[in-house]
Every structure is written in structure tokens, then in C-alpha cells.
Chain A
């Protein structure tokens, strides 16, 4: 269990977050400069919050009222830095053994060599970091952290330094390795949507130093709670609306257009309605939520098209496949009720 409730004020920025994590891989997702890394650094003891509490299982790391701030070196926290922060003047072996200073020498040698073999770097123990590929460096960083048997693992954008091709392979290897060798909480910071979705069980969304939503990743992605959260999970269609209840349906009026939403999606205080661009369909006709349209802009990607669509009432961003693209003309744009969601303002 990790409990974080901290505040820290800078001249142009304020971090004010509060969350509890129980187990699994948890992602902190948010735009750069929203306080994600600062949170990790506070947990590790590299930054001291102005006030609040940080507690990991039964250990208090920080408690402003008790004037308690455990220095980083006593926290036994595993931290993987964005660019790995390997010591350039030390070999792979020396890097991995760096955190085992107080161990007996024989045991260090045995443990480190075991670790090197585990992460598939046998034969590289006398190499220096600059002689390794990005993926190998990442494995050294992971080994250096795990060898100290940390009680929590903090990952700061662990894949951002890898190129696109090796990234996906590395992700898979990395997390399957983690599952085998680490059972504690993994807190994983990223600004990359898809990475967060692929790798995490639970998500915490950050915006301007605050937590705006926390939950299972499916919930957070498919049903964001508020406008900021929707933007962070990549929703491009967000409209202000007036909500009217009618039997077992809820109607959202957007600029005069009527959008029907299932009643269970009703949300108190909602003033916006949203839909993901990949959920937009094209049909000949439908009972509701279908509108004639014209295309104003098309951006083609490798396998999909991003189409900007204008109806009489609003402008939509739709992401369509090649197949859909060929058949969408002379049809109506359809916003499936099950994919619409209401949003609260702000976050």
C-alpha cells in the first residue's frame, strides 16, 4: 500500500496530489510539466514536499506534522531514471554492484553475476555504458535497481529514450521480466497514451499538479470523468451540452442537435458530452444520433485517416480505416449511444 498526500509550491507551479495505491502496475499519465516526475522524486526522497504524508506499507517516509523526512538513501526505493542515469565511469558490473556497498564481497559478486545473467547481459560485465545499446542500458538500469530488492519500483518514462522499433519489443520483455522478478508496487510515469494503456493495470491522470481521475485503465480510457481527463486520454470530440432526462434515456443537446445517451451514463453536474474519434461510425441511416455531413479536412496516416467532419451542428474528428474511408461518402455520421459519455467541467 502506498499513500501519498503532498503539497509543494513553486513560483509558477503547485503540486497538490492525494492518492492511494494497493498493488499492481500503476501509471501516472499526464502532459509534461504536470508534476509526475516531482511526485516520484518526492516518494524517493529526492524532493521534500512542503507538507503532507508519504507512507509505504507500514513505513512513514514523510510526515510534515511530525517533522519526518527519511533521506533517500534509507528508503530502499527502486528508481529508474528517464535516461537511466548509469554511471559513465563504471562498468556494467560496477554499476549494478553500486547499491550493494554494505554487503560482504563474496555475496556481492555472486548476486551481481546472477543478475547480469538474468537480464541477458552475460559477457558485458566489463563494458562501459557508452558501449551498450539503448536497450542494454535499460536492462543495466533495471538490474541495478532490482538487485537492491526495493520495496517499490518507480519508473520515470522508462521507454522514452528508446527508438520506436525497439520500444515495443523492449516493453514486452521488460514487463514480463518484472512480473517474474518483482512483486511489489510499480509506479510508472508516462506521457504516452498507448504505453500507459498497454502496460498499466490502473491509471492516475495528472493535470497541472493535481490528480483529476484515478481508476482501472478501461474505465479511465472509455469513461473519463471530466473534460481535462478526456483530453489527456486523447478524446478529440468534446462538446458543451444541455442534459435533459427522458425516461430511460438521457438527451444531450449540442448546439441544437439531439444526442441520445443510455440512462446509466447519466452523471450529476455534467455539462459536456464526448466521444472518441475511433468510435464514430458511418451508416445509411439510424433511429438517432445520425447526421448528414461534409468533409472539411483529411489527414492520412499509414493505415488510417483522420477526418474532420462538419455537420449542421458541430465539427467532429473521426478516425477511420481505409475500408470505411472508401464507403463513407453519401452516408450519415453516427455517434453510437453506448460510446458517448458525459463529462464534468474542469478537473
Chain B
């Protein structure tokens, strides 16, 4: 039996991790803004951020190709100014995973932020704290549990993306071929054994990840309760 090429697994984990970090950095301020405003602009933005959930992956991939391809202004600018290529590169896979997964983060985090009592924020304001400070000392501590589960969700979604990644990054072996694409590739080539092995690996890794997150979350909750009980 030939050795199983684990490159797709590591690529997938890498892509999902980077996409998740990006989703956190971009998603937190956006979700906070959406949770605290009620105007037309926020409604439009909200629909825009929900769109990737609704659109077929191929449509999403097509948009990204048009928007970020070498012939597009943005794509050309990225290439000329930074030497960054998006299409058919691992970077493209990150972008695809990020766009696909971001809505899940924004949805969850927005709901968590919206459930925070406005009076708590007002109390902090009256006590002399800036908005920036309030975000880190009141908002985040009160919603970190939802943010943690949103992050898990984003990671899982990014890890499993197929369609959009295939459109944007392609399926170049040992370069842009992520786990889901490798499985499809193996099946297409009639290599059922390979497909089975890859599916098994993917399943085990996913279960292990989700379980670890759950344990971590539980331990933190327990730690919190203990801290309360000790006094």
C-alpha cells in the first residue's frame, strides 16, 4: 500500500486556522457594530454578510474570481503592490474559507452582543470608560462563551469547505489541494481505498477537534463556577 499523502490534511488545518483568525479579527468589530445599530445601513450590511450562507458555493467562488482575479483591479493591485496572488494559490483557499465561514461568526457574535443589557454599557460610560475600553472590559467578558462557540463553528466550516475553495484555489496537488478536494479527487480517480482513508482521517480529526473545544469550554465554565464558589 502506498503511503497516504497527508499534505491535504495539513493544508486544510492551516487554511482553516488562518481563516478563523481572520474571521475573528474582522468579525468582532462588524458584529458589535451590527448589534448596536438599527439603521438602514446596518440592515444592508447584515444581508450582505448573510449572503454567503444562502448563495451556492460556485456562485460565491465565481464572485471571488471576478473580484480578486489577476484581471480585476483589486487583484492587479494586490499583485503589483504586494506580490500577492489569490487565484489558484493557498492564499485563495484562505480567502474562500474566510468568506464562507465569516457569516457564521457574525450571526452568532451579533446575537451574543445584542443580548448584553445596554444599561451595563451606559453604566460603564458614566463611570468614565471609553467605548474601546468598554468593549474589552464588559462586552467581551460577558459574551466570550458565545464567541468561543462561534469560533468553533467558523473553524469547522472553514475546514470543510469544498465548492468555493475549488473555484478559487483549484485542486493543484501538493499546493492547493485541501482535504475535501483530495477526497473528491480520489473518488473521481476511482481510488476508493484512498477516499475511505481520507474520509476516516477527516472524521477523526473533526471529532477530536470538536471534543477538545467542548472540554475546554466546559473546563472554563467549571473554573468560573469554582471561582464563584470559593468565596
Interface residues of A (CB under 8 A from B): 41, 44-46, 71-79, 81-83, 85-89, 91, 98-99, 101-102, 126-128, 131, 144, 148
Is B126 in contact with A77, judged by CB distance below 8 angstroms? yes
Contact yes or no, B228 A128, CB < 8 A: yes
Q: Which of A44, A73, A83 is in CB contact (< 8 Å) with B129? A: A73
Mask, B114-125, CB within 8 Å of A = 1, is 000101101111
**A73 close to B128 (CB less than 8 A):** yes
Cα distance A45–B122 in the bound complex, in angstroms: 9
Query: Chain B 123-165, CB within 8 Å of chain A: the 1/0 string?
Result: 1111111100100001001100000000000000000000000
Complex CA distance for A91 and B141, rounded to whole angstroms: 13
Question: Which A residues are CB-close (under 8 A) to B129?
Answer: 73, 98, 101
B40: Cβ under 8 A from any A Cβ: no
**Bound Cα distance A98, B127 (Å):** 7
Neighbour of B124 across the interface among A71, A98, A131, CB < 8 A: A98
Q: Are A144 and B127 in contact (CB under 8 A)?
A: yes
Determine the residue in chain A with the shortest Cβ distance to B126: A79
A127: B residues at CB distance < 8 A = 231
Given known contacts A89-B142, A98-B124, A73 and B119 CB-to-CB distance under 8 angstroms: no
- Complex contact B119–A99 (CB within 8 A): no
**Which residues of the other chain, A, contact B141 by a CB distance below 8 angstroms?**
89
Q: A89-B141, A89-B142, A127-B231 are in contact. Are A72 and B126 (CB under 8 A)?
A: yes
B222 to chain A, nearest CB (A): 16
Partner of B127, one of A41, A91, A148: A148
**Is the pair A46, B128 in contact by a Cβ cutoff of 8 Å?**
no
Asked if B120 and A85 make an inter-chain contact with CB atoms under 8 angstroms apart, the answer reads yes
- Contacts A72-B125, A98-B124, A126-B231 aside, 4 further interface pairs with beta carbons under 8 A come to A75-B126, A82-B119, A91-B231, A148-B127
A87 touches B128 (CB 8 A): no
Please tell me if the beta carbons of B228 and A87 are within 8 angstroms of each other in the complex: no
Contacts A73-B129, A89-B141, A101-B129 given; does A81 touch B228 at CB 8 Å: no
Q: List 14 A-B contacts (CB under 8 A).
A: A45-B126, A73-B126, A73-B127, A73-B130, A79-B122, A83-B119, A89-B138, A91-B231, A126-B231, A128-B228, A128-B231, A131-B228, A144-B127, A148-B127
The residue in chain A whose Cβ has the minimal distance to the Cβ of B130 is A73
The residue from B120, B122, B133, B142 contacting A46, defined by CB atoms under 8 A apart: B122
Name the interface residues of B211-231: CB closer than 8 Å to any CB of A: 228, 231
Q: How far is the CA of A77 from the CA of B127 in the complex (A)?
A: 8
Is A88's CB under 8 angstroms from B142's CB?
Answer: yes
Q: Are A101 and B142 neighbours in the complex by a CB distance under 8 Å?
A: no
By a CB distance below 8 angstroms, the chain A residues around B122 are 41, 44, 46, 72, 79, 81, 85
List the 10 shortest-distance A-B pairs measured between CB atoms, nearest first.
A99-B127, A85-B123, A126-B231, A72-B125, A85-B119, A79-B126, A73-B128, A89-B141, A81-B119, A46-B122
CA distance A128 to B228 in the complex (A): 7
Question: Once the chains are docked, how many angstroms separate the CA of A126 from the CA of B227?
Answer: 10
Instruction: Give chain B residues whose Cβ lies under 8 Å from the Cβ of A101.
Output: 128-129, 133
For the complex, give the distance between the alpha carbons of A41 and B122 in Å.
9
Question: How far does the alpha carbon of A98 sit from the alpha carbon of B133 in the complex, in Å?
Answer: 11
In the complex, A89→B138 CA distance in Å?
Answer: 8
**A89 CB contacts on chain B under 8 angstroms:** 138, 141-142
What is the CA–CA distance of A85 and B142 in the complex, to the nearest angstrom? 13
- Complex CA distance for A101 and B128, rounded to whole angstroms: 8
In angstroms, Cα B138 to Cα A85, docked, is 12
User: Chain B residue with minimal CB distance to A131?
Assistant: B228
Residues in A neighbouring B119, C-beta threshold 8 A: 81-83, 85
Q: How far is the CA of A91 from the CA of B117 in the complex (A)?
A: 18
Contact in complex: A46, B125 (CB < 8 Å): yes
Residues of B within 8 A of A75 (CB): 126
**Which residues of B142-196 are within 8 A (CB) of A?**
142
- Smallest distance from the beta carbon of B124 to chain A beta carbons, Å? 7
For the complex, what is the distance from the CA of A88 to the CA of B123, rounded to whole Å?
12
Bound complex: CA of A41 vs CA of B126, how far in Å?
Answer: 10
**A85-B117, A87-B138, A127-B231 given; A79·B123 CB < 8 A:** yes
Q: How far is the CB of A61 from chain B (nearest CB, A)?
A: 13
In the complex, residue of chain A having the shortest beta-carbon distance to the beta carbon of B128: A73
Nearest-CB distance from B82 to chain A (Å)?
38
